[in-house]
Amino acid sequence: MSLWTDKRVVVTGGAGFLGSRVVTRLKERGCQEVIVPRSRQYDLREKDAIRRLYQDAKPNLVIHLAAVVGGIGANQASPGSFFYDNLVMGVQLMEQARLLGVEKFVAIGTVCSYPKWTPVPFREEDLWNGYPEETNAPYGLAKKMLLVQSQAYREQYGFHSIFLIPVNLYGPGDHFDLQTSHVIPAIIRKCTEAVARREKEVVLWGDGTPTREFLYVDDCAEGILLAAEKYDKSDPVNLGSGVEISVRELANLLAKLTGFQGEFRWDTTKPNGQPRRRLEVSKAKREFGFDAMVGLREGLQRTIEWYLRQGA
């Protein structure tokens, strides 16, 4: 009998990019009752709405994936709302879960919480050794407060909560709006549109030197459920692939995969973001057996094919 068979699970953000994968895998594992709150029914920034959600759903377990997210531009444009919305959602969801006796709370953090100058690879122990990169600090700090809350609640109340830190995600179903998208969907869209219009130049932000690590979205969903099943400590755990690539190398790879044969022009008036980003991922393997399965090239190919099928 599956661990999930008799569980009622609330997945906030369960209709989203990552959440929809988590919901699918929960059902594949035998979970009969997965509740996905929608914003039109429950505004998760409001305490009364959260209380009503929990009273309606009566969950045994909560997986909190809902977040206000975006790329560098979106973070720069709306730092106040990124901070407030993410902070108040997480704090109230965990507090009401504690008050109502929810068995376990799975909180999802962000790699943006790490200090700007974290030694590479980023180790969980380095999480507090400095201030995050300025363009996404409000978002990163709001999410990191869930770790503080998780540890404090375990200490005072014996509340079972865990805190996971995924690296940048990508895959089919990602957001391709250039105002809010992250680097992979943004470059895919720019390259495919340039190919369609027979343009010879694509403009990208920064100078291409920063490095990033990426995790295929389905791998992340699997990591979250493995942690929900097997991990019960409040120490944070990284979820990543452990593979680092520069934005310039990534752009060149995506140019090959999309058939773009022109030139990239790097707009150095725009920010680079964090200089380097790669996680130390051995703790997830050790604690709950997680390994990323989809390589970057294969994952990018799947993402491009999905995007083109949408009639891009």
Angle at which helices 296-309 and 183-197 cross, to 10°: 50
90 is in an annotated binding site: no
Whether the CB-CB separation of 218 and 18 falls below 8 Å is answered with no
168 is in an annotated binding site: yes
Tell me, what DSSP letter sits at residue 136?
Answer: G
226 is in an annotated binding site: no
104 is in an annotated binding site: no
CA atoms within 13 A on the CB side of 150: 24
- Mapped onto helix, strand or coil, the DSSP state of residue 35 is strand
16 is in an annotated binding site: yes
136 is in an annotated binding site: no
- Mapped onto helix, strand or coil, the DSSP state of residue 307 is helix
182 is in an annotated binding site: yes
242 is in an annotated binding site: no
Q: E-assigned strands of 177-291?
A: 201-205, 211-216, 237-239, 244-246, 263-267
Q: How far apart are CA 22 and CA 188, in angstroms?
A: 25
Catalytic residues: 139
210 is in an annotated binding site: no
Binding-site residues from annotation for NADP(+): 13-19, 143, 166-169, 182
Annotated binding site for substrate: 190, 205, 212
Bind-site residues? 13-19, 143, 166-169, 182, 190, 205, 212
